[in-house]
Chains A and B, each alone.
Chain A
């Protein structure tokens, strides 16, 4: 299992004191690592699952009474503008009438925790810390205004629902497991249609309903080899690319007429 070897590696790294990031002047430190910092999209890529490992490091100033922790992991992919349209019946046919534009929203968004968000902290804290898909800020442009709206806004909930159907938005409140009281892990499932780019991972540690500390890490999803070559040449040399595709079409057609020639 990849997960098991990664776990061994992380534990070793922790033992050697090779931490990645830490917030200073706090009672706890979070040390995390992702099993793979560079996901490569190859011809047979059809999704993947990354594993995030981490450990809560206590020091002398940690209150002795503090024993249990809660953890929320937020993974957000590259940001893009998206438009959500709603169909309505006009003159007997269903056409797109109303639309809302979501500005610079993550193309992939996943929230993982060890227990339900409302059990981790008060509604006030979950809202402020953007815990849960209902609390994540998704900026909309409504006419000239920029704002996020209430979670049950039809456009917002439709947007979240549609992204969730593709596995691009997800919320799992039991995905984070504490292996020991301070050692945790969670899986980050990436569906096949995951967009390429940089993914930010934010890890927040809560105790008794309050944020204790947080840290972040990142990984990237890149196209390599042939995929990248095709995508790059399509973008940078449109004319040559079009010419090559047209030529390929003619060659395929010509070859077929030779292969299948009867006379």
Chain B
């Protein structure tokens, strides 16, 4: 069934978009991430203008992270205090990111910067997660009990001042690194058009030592708020949010996310990390190949306005 998208100005197959939304939703529910880093390239591949894709995906991520956050909230798997501190940095970071985005666009070569940051970020994060998951699995297979959290080994991060007790996560931590992490995620998210959950979760686990019980729910709150802000900013500044496209993606996405979340609970943590690492690595490598291999078509045409 063909449907004409009012902002993207092209007809699309509703079931294709719905299926894409559901597939990405499944992945996002399974790993507790927004899935923007998968959705945006997919939409561009279908023929939707990159700017419209980025802007519309923001609202799609908002929907799926809200539905996820609600179910995590019911299971008391969100640390409200931690989420608030993260948000204070995240909001500032998003604002800074949008400002930088506009600046870079006026200088040209924004596409290259986006592609390069996808390659660097996705390959390194994906590679690390894959490696970590692999090691954990090998350790488990050798029969060695996985190392318990080394509560004694406080790094320099844990020596910072302004400490605060995050009750639900049962950690005692300085607010400075939390705010900085929120800031960085907000900034990266605005530039790359992603929620940032896949970077945030490892940082929270490995750097801030947030227990896995609260990490996904809490990161979803940050994703939710930054993506709602991003939707608003894109709608006000560029008028590029396609509500019809967003709605189809959302419906597919939230449905897929429910099944993904259930599937995720059945898989063991280290397997989950291995899979997610592989997925992220694959997207990163795809971007790298695109940069490194001679493209079939060396030319691109883009409308720059001045219509009429």
Contact = CB atoms under 8 A, between A and B. Distances in A.
Interface of A: 41-47, 78-89, 92-96, 101, 103-104, 107, 154-155, 158-159, 161-163, 192-193, 195-197, 223, 226-228, 230-231, 234-235, 238-239, 241-246, 248-250, 252-257, 260-261, 263
A86 to B, nearest CB: 5
B219 to A, nearest CB: 16
- Max chain B C-beta neighbours (<10 A), residue from A88, A196, A255: A255
A250 B189 CA distance: 19
Contacts of A45: 2, 4, 11
B227 to A, nearest CB: 8
B11 A46 contact: yes
Contacts of B283: none
Contacts of A235: 239
B117 to A, nearest CB: 13
Nearest to B305: A81
Contact of B235 (A107, A155, A239): A239
A241 B9 contact: no
Interface of B: 1-4, 6-7, 9-11, 47, 59-60, 62-71, 74, 109, 111-112, 228, 231-237, 239, 241, 243-244, 246-247, 250-251, 254-255, 257-258, 290-295, 297-308
20 contacts: A44-B11, A79-B307, A80-B307, A83-B301, A83-B302, A84-B299, A85-B300, A94-B291, A96-B300, A162-B301, A230-B244, A234-B243, A242-B241, A245-B59, A245-B243, A246-B59, A252-B250, A257-B67, A261-B71, A263-B74
A242 B236 contact: yes
A41 B299 contact: no
A46 B246 CA distance: 20
B11 to A, nearest CB: 4
A238 B235 contact: yes
B305 A80 contact: yes
A94 B60 contact: no
A92 B258 contact: no
B231 A81 contact: no
A156 to B, nearest CB: 10
Contacts of B306: 79-81, 103-104
Contacts of B3: 43-44
Contacts of B1: 44
Nearest to B4: A45
Contact of A84 (B10, B68, B301): B301
Contacts of B255: 256, 260
Contacts of A78: 307-308
A79 B308 contact: yes
A231 B243 CA distance: 10
A96 B67 contact: no
A242 B231 contact: yes
Contacts of A243: 232
A262 B298 CA distance: 52
Given A192-B10, A241-B243, A253-B254, A93 B304 contact: no
Contacts of A155: 299
Given A230-B244, A257-B254, 16 more contacts: A42-B4, A44-B2, A80-B303, A80-B306, A83-B301, A92-B292, A96-B109, A223-B6, A226-B6, A230-B6, A248-B59, A249-B59, A250-B228, A254-B66, A256-B258, A257-B70
Contacts of A80: 303-308
Contacts of B299: 84-87, 154-155, 158-159, 161-162
B67 A256 contact: yes
Contact of A248 (B65, B247, B292, B301): B247
B6 A248 contact: no
B18 to A, nearest CB: 13
